[in-house]
A and B are shown apart, each in its own frame.
Chain A
Amino acid sequence: DGGITQSPKYLFRKEGQNVTLSCEQNLNHDAMYWYRQDPGQGLRLIYYSQIVNDFQKGDIAEGYSVSREKKESFPLTVTSAQKNPTAFYLCASSTIRGSTDTQYFGPGTRLTVL
């Protein structure tokens, strides 16, 4: 069953704690992306990676960190520096770098900070 998996589906965190969201893909895609979805704001890009061991900041990278040690995995850490972390987080991937490829999305992780 090919696709993108994200875990956990729901995550609760206390203020001041770091938390890591998992994203795994078995589509053999080169590029991976993290988005944040808030009501009425669409999806906003946090970080993206076009190749292993390399990643770039998106539009709202502050308070987040990522790693790309393996092609299949692109975990996102929400740090305590993120001022408003409660949101729905979506991971995506695409086959190649560049503008002509379609991004495919995972099911998302809903993070709630208590």
Chain B
Amino acid sequence: AQSVSQHNHHVILSEAASLELGCNYSYGGTVNLFWYVQYPGQHLQLLLKYFSGDPLVKGIKGFEAEFIKSKFSFNLRKPSVQWSDTAEYFCAVNAKRMDGKLQFGAGTQVVVTP
């Protein structure tokens, strides 16, 4: 079945540590890729997205993600996290044949300790 997989359900790390969250998808053909973030008590908001072009995408708050087509991956990274990055992170994919529908991963809860 077509799906989106996020490898880690919970991540705990200290401030200034580097963060990498894995995301793999199983759809063939052209895909659009998204990372959304849900801070405690806030709306789900877009962190970054990839449609085409440079596979290294930069988003808000110092996050970036790299699309590796051969690996069907779109991993999220941040070199140095802050306490305020504590949130739940969701990878999402849509494809042309999906008629605009987004398929979400299960999410990764990230806790950054001071």
Q: Mark A residues whose CB is within 8 Å of B.
A: 31, 33, 35, 40-45, 48, 50, 56, 58, 90, 94, 97-108
9 contacts between A and B (CB under 8 A): A35-B104, A40-B107, A45-B101, A58-B101, A98-B99, A98-B100, A99-B32, A105-B45, A107-B43
Chain A residues in 8 Å Cβ range of B102: 33, 43, 45, 103
Chain A residues in 8 Å Cβ range of B100: 31, 48, 50, 94, 97-99, 101
B51 within 8 A of A: yes
Q: How many residues in B have their beta carbons less than 8 Å from beta carbons of A?
A: 27
Q: Is the CB of A97 within 8 A of B99?
A: yes
Q: Is the CB of A43 within 8 A of B90?
A: yes
CB distance from A33 to the nearest CB of B (A): 8
